[in-house]
Structure formats: C-alpha cells, structure tokens
Chains A and B, each alone.
Chain A
C-alpha cells in the first residue's frame, strides 16, 4: 500500500472510536506492543531528545530503494504514536518518505502530539525520518 492509502486506512479505523478514551486506549495498546527497536540501539547515538519523553530511531536501507524504520520511546503514548508513524512510513521507498505529507495525524486528532510545545521528541522524529528518506534517495540516484 502507498503512504496515503495507509493514512486513509488509519483515519477510517479511528473514525470508529466514540471518545478520547477509546482512542487513547488503542494508542496505549499499540505502545504496549512489541519493543520496536532492538535494545542494543537504545543508545545516545539513536536518541532524539525531547524535553518530555525520549525517542530512539534507526533507519536501514532495504532492497528496492526502501527504508525500514525502527523506533521506540520510554513513554507509552509516544510509543503508540510511533507505531502509527512506523506503519505509515516504514518499508516505503526513500523518495516517498522524503516527500510524504502526513495528514493523518491531524485527521485523527493527534496534532497536538506533533506540536513543538509538547516536546516529546515526535516532531523531531518525523523530521529525522524525512531526512533519512532524503539522504537515502539521493544516495540511490
């Protein structure tokens, strides 16, 4: 699926939640899921420092010009949102990652989590992911 198809799918899923609690319970469940990054990469080299929560991010080039992201956070809500971002951006081509317009965050009412005032590391993480996409796509061409 393309980045936008996945985004639309998520928007559709979120439209079934009755209130904020259902939505956050889902995000928390996502966050409690598998560890998203290998413990050995939870080091300062991969750390994106937010004021509130910490985020670790790793990007690997995969066949077909694709980029695979793995990431984690010490806060479970942040981690749940990371899981959504991974679902949208990981395993897509580097060019598509670099050019992605992430409209789903706003549509599912989580915009505040990607605002600079939250400083939970998510905004920096998205920027970093796009930079990785850009770097890998220019390497390939």
Chain B
C-alpha cells in the first residue's frame, strides 16, 4: 500500500498539523475540518513567519537598488528561484520563471509559443479532464492563429484513452498541453510516457502540474517536460506566486509576453532589446514576498520529505475511499488505478450543492460544483460533484468527520 512505509513512520504527522495555525479555528461552533486543499492549501507557520520577516526587515524593490536593503531583497528573491530550481531539478536557474500562478503560466506559453509556432491548420492537443485554465488560453490563441483544439477522451474510470492519444498525435500537432493530476478526480496521468511519445514526433509538451506538485516528487529533467507549470498557493506557499518552468531552447525562441520594466536591455522609441532569461518573461515588479514565501514552503516540504508526504496522503486516500464506499448510494467519480488524494463523489438522489451546504453546517469544508472542469462534467453527464481533497495536515479523524457529515446529509436530503 505504501511506497515507503519506513519514511512515513519516521514523520510524526500529528505534529505537522500543529504547524498550521488556521487548523485550530472553528467553524459554526465546531472544529474546522478542512478538505479543500486542492483549491488552495493552508500555510505552515514557517511560511507565514517568513512573509512577516520580509516586510518587517527586508522589503525593497529587486534588481534595481545600489543600497543594501535592495540587495538583500534581491538575494532573498533569487534564492527563492534557486530553491524552486532544485525542487523540480531544472537544469538552469533561468529556466524558472516567476508568474502569478498556473493560469498565468499557461497563458504565457499559449500566447508566446502560439504566436511564434502556430499557424492555420495546426493542432493543439489537450484532454477532456483539463481545468479551464488549460483550455481557454489555447482557445484564445487558436482563435488568433487559425489552429484548432483536439481533445483526448477520458474513460469511465477517469483515465486518458491512450489509444485515442496515439491516433490524435500526428504531424499537425504542434503542442500537447496536459494536466499531470486531475483536480476533479485525482487521476495521475502517465505524463512521462506521453512526453516520450510526443518527443518521438518532435512535439513539445506542457504539463499543468498544479495538482501534482503538492503531492509527489517532480523532476522536470527526468520527465523531459518542455514546460511545467504550477501555483505556490496549492503547495503551502502564498497566493500570487507561481512557476513556469520551460526548457531554455523553447523560452529563447519565444517572444516576450508582457512588456515593461525588468524585461528589457535597452529601450529607445525605435527599438527595444529584451533582457535574457528569466527576466525577459518577468516584466514589472515581481511578487517578491511570494517568491520568498514559496522558498520557505519548499524548505518545509523538503524537511518533511516528499516520499513521506505521498505515502501518508495515500493512506488517507485509501482509508477515505473505503469509508466513503460504505455509505449507501455513494458514487465516486474518478476511480483510476493511479490517484492523488482527491475523492470526488455524488450521493444518489441529492444535488452536490445540497450536500456541501449540510457539510458546511457541520464544519466540514469541501468543494462542490464543476471544479472549473465543465467539459469533464459533461463527459460524465453530471451537474458537478462534491470533492474532498486531503493534504499532509489532514488526519484520519478528519475523514471520519467527513463520513459522518455525509451520512447526516443523506438522511436529511433523501
């Protein structure tokens, strides 16, 4: 069941929970059970403290001051970049671009890669389980270039149809953009295989890692991903910071996304020459505290250990799945073999919104609705789901409270 039981046993996850101040609060007079980490994770005190320290001691704009404070801020900011580089094992520091989040990262690639490489008749290959932020940016650039979107279908278990993928991947395909882990179903996609197949045909691949990065070890060189995008706020870091990893060879060929300060070498009214990577893609004052906070989140995750986190979350998933399936009338959407710690479900004869409302009354925070994956909801012909997602600070008691609340909802609503 566990990838590495020995490691997960050496980490005391009960103590980890203590590191997250917000988990002490109550909701509607009951201790809060937070099961919406897939939307945004909570932050450990270590991250909150670093943000405070930054504003109390180090705050200044980066890359432009001769004075000591600006130098310190720049050093801390760039240290954040190096932590990210090490965390995902990027070959070069300048392949790590700071963006606002996954959404901005994908928009950047869709726009800059698209303007450079897409033409009428070309195809962009995505899947039926993509988050809207890995659909709409591609639709926008398709509309501007005359390229079109092709979609890898999803099976009843919530897995990619790999045969369909093989036949959809052909000479007209110019880029594949795919989620690593489905935010709605938890499916872990075989991205390494997919990247390998695409590369055989010389096609680059963007991976939306928003839901993968908090839960598993990511090595962009081992995956050989051309682009890998994720958000800080889903991996214990602050909101407003995210990462676009891109291979140097692609980033160098792509035009800038935003224009402004920081991203230029020289500007005259006749002509502007652009700065080198990563600054070419970082116009304007960046989210300095965000980058530093993200670095602190990475330190925290590394200290716990990604294998230990993955193993522990897998235990939560197995326990939760087993307990949920004991409730009569539960249907789990997303039953892939290889899953991250997400349980999306429907309770027969009820609407997800009603279930979510009762759960909220009982202090259990879950997500209801389409989870920004409307095409996937259409695929399953459902209005939405109730989604419980687990993180390293959840425990088995949280799952018991969830199950109890769902049982209560069932008796009240049916």
Contacts and interface: CB of A to CB of B under 8 A. Distances in A.
A76 B383 CA distance: 14
Nearest to B369: A52
B50 to A, nearest CB: 29
A77 interface: yes
Nearest to B350: A76
B150 interface: no
Interface in A28-62: 28, 51-54
Given A24-B361, A75-B351, A52 B412 contact: no
Given A20-B28, A76-B354, A52 B361 contact: no
B13 interface: no
Which among B351, B356, B358, B361 has the greatest number of chain A C-beta atoms within 10 A?
Answer: B351
Interface string B394-414: 000000000000000000110
A21 interface: yes
B357 interface: yes
Contacts of B413: 28, 76
Interface string B366-384: 0011100000000000011
B300 interface: no
B54 interface: no
B353 interface: yes
- Size bracket of the B interface: 10 to 19
B372 to A, nearest CB: 10
A20 B357 CA distance: 11
Interface string B320-361: 000000000000000000000000000000111110111001
A78 B350 CA distance: 12
Contacts of A20: 28, 361
B412 A28 contact: yes
Contacts of A24: 357-358, 361, 412
B412 A74 contact: no
- Size bracket of the A interface: 10 to 19
Given A25-B412, A28-B412, A28-B413, A76 B369 contact: no
A53 B351 CA distance: 8
Interface of B: 28, 350-354, 356-358, 361, 368-370, 383-384, 412-413
A120 interface: yes
Given A52-B368, A53-B351, A77-B354, A21 B412 contact: yes
Interface in A4-39: 20-21, 24-25, 28
Contacts of B352: 52
A74 B351 contact: yes
Interface string A65-96: 00000000011111000000000000000000
A52 B384 contact: yes
B326 to A, nearest CB: 23
A120 B356 CA distance: 12
Contacts of B358: 24
Contacts of B353: 52-53, 75, 77-78, 120
Nearest to A112: B360
6 contacts: A28-B412, A52-B368, A75-B354, A76-B350, A76-B354, A77-B353
